[in-house]
Structure 1
Amino acid sequence: MSTNEVLFPPGATQRDWVADGILAVTVTLLSIVPYYVQVGYVELFSPLTMFSAAITLPLVLRRHSPLLTLALVSLGGTMQLFFLPIPTISLVSIPIVSYSVARWIPGRMSRSVIVVGAIASVLGPLAWFGAYASNPNADILFWGACLGAVLTPYAIGRRSREVAESRTRQVHAAEERYRLLLAEREQQTRLAEASTRAMIARELHDIVAHSLSVMIVQAEGGRAVATRKPDVAVEALDTIAETGREALHEMRRIVGVLRAGPTDEPPSYAPAPTLEEIPDMVARTSDRITLVVDGNPQPVSQALALTAYRVTQEALTNFLKHAGSEATAVATLTYSARSITVDVVDNGDGVDDPTDGGGNGLRGMYERVSSMGGSLSAGPRDDGPGFRVHAVIPIGDAARTAAREGMQR
């Protein structure tokens, strides 16, 4: 702690200066006026006024510089001991100084007022009553009373300081907790925004990539048979139109979420296809895809049904984009009491790096399946040419158990 912080620890506001000035003037007047109304002190008017003011007026500095106040009051008290034969009313400022030093001076420096007070408690009674007191018990009583006038306000001041410091620490702790809470809320908000952006990105990718892939395949097929089989070309155009309308509808639902205000009714931005819609989606995708269903779909949550639908959709989209025009694929859906298994296998050329297009599709599938507590593997086939996507999505209690295990890992 610097010397300046010890000499001027609290500082004083304008309001403190005014309050302490009023206190100093009031104590000075109370210390002087009584002597003016008593005839026996006429010859002491000047020294009483001067020495009383020397002890009381420094109280104006008690909050700005308690140690300086102690020094000035000690100097005034010393002059009284030498020049006045009696104690004065102005000594009432001593308890005020003792409290001020204890309240605003930190550490051991505050004990200086006890040292000064203990010396003055002995010298004062000796100077004022030593010539008249014949009983040592009286001297001890005087000393104890003077020392008590110093120790009692000192103890009160230290206690006040401890309470103030405790409150300050509590305020700082509360402010720190509040800052941490704000930082945590901001982090949670950012995580929620990132999660929402990732979710919307997955939806947009699935919708756009699948719809465009289907439209491109149908357009190329329709062009190839337009002259030979006009009816097939018309069916291809119908499929393109239907796929485009469906994609546009889903895009509007997602954009509706982005434009919705806080007071608007929250729209469902995520399309909510069911498991029963997967065969229709496969049929619209391409006639080179064979669907095999093992078991019967059971009622599941909307999120789980959407995950199974999107994984199947994205796997077929990758097939259309990378397998080649002559390749075929088999999509197998296996429904059991504990899980739904999606297995899409093709015999196409595939790609060396399945993430050469940015990997958004595969990353989206991994994120979807992982969020449901499932597992997904995607890569070239080991038993021949082609690519395979295999996803296992648990249902009910199995999903919760898998999710807990994933969080523990």
Structure 2
Amino acid sequence: MSGALSGVSCLVTGAGGFVGLRIVQMLLEEEDLGELRAMDKTVSGHLLQTCERSQKKIQVKVLEGDIRDKEFLHKACQGVDLVIHTAAIIDPTGHVSKETFMSINLHGTELILESCVKNNVRYFIYTSSMEVVGPNTRGDPIVNGHEDLVYDSTLGSCYGESKRQGEWAVLRASGRELQNGGSLVTCSLRPTYIFGEGSQFLQMHIDQAIQNGGVFHRISKKEALVNPVYVGNVAWAHVVAARAMRDPDIVKKMAGNFYYICDDTPHMSYSDLNHALGAELGLGVEGRLAFPYPLLYFVASIMELVSFLLRPFIRFVPPLSKHLLILLNTTFTFSYKKAQRDMGYSPRYSWAEARRMTSTWIASILPQRKEELKKK
């Protein structure tokens, strides 16, 4: 289906982000687009360089603006055929308020959907997350989960809840009548935990390992298996979905549906993923959690209670939350078979390739990170 997006005008929101930038790069490399609009709240040097390299081949516009700015979105969507909406705020530390999560991840999504309807944008792909499902507050495991699975998704995360409501808005909007009488077609992609070059979370763990004598902290039990996905395969899934939505037969299956996106990365814990990516560079990993899991859960509960009691006086953000502890220590794996069956997705990069490219990136930043941390 190569060339299926020939002549298409595409808007990518969050274009300077970890996933958004890879989608922009892949679209520019793979497709003969009529136009690409790369939108972000703050335009990074990486995004500008990526877009400038392709200016001769494809018309590229870089748009700087907020996803909550209604007038800006209206102008950004004029003349666009396809929107890939990756813009979101992510924060596992608890420093971002629920109001901020909702205003960006939910209200911003609702605003751009309205802009699509008013501007006759036909196709809309939403970058969701496995955290719209869980893990739930009890830490119930999922093994090779699929789209028809019934799971008690009582979430303990403002991020997960904001993304879930954003996804609902996207899927409900599929079939909405456009101003020109056509109809909007939407779908949602739910990646598992994303790793790869440029990951801020991975860099944070690398910094901690450097400060811990070259050993990654054990943040998850070895038996808490997840199936991480390489960022290049997540970007590829968006390109495959965009191509498939242009096919009149395939789009009937995809309209209003969500898909889990993962790849053939071996199932392992988050800590063992860090080790697998850093082992060739001499980075080790602790053998076990610093304290037994029940004790860590008790400590997290006490800290959350203290935070609640102090709320009228000062804002205290606990360094460890129950949700984060459950997330890191719950077996949570999914299958990409439905995405493969409906739209023809299969991973573009093997685990060996993803591991090699990520390890090469770690090697490139390791000396600088060591020097910067030494100065602190």
TM interval, shorter chain, is under 0.3
TM-score (norm 2): 0.25
The answer to which structure, 1 or 2, has the higher relative contact order (CA under 8 A, 6+ apart) is 2
What's the TM-score, normalizing by structure 1? 0.23
- Compare the two structures and name the one with the higher helix fraction: 1
> If you compute each CA radius of gyration, which structure gives the higher value, 1 or 2?
1
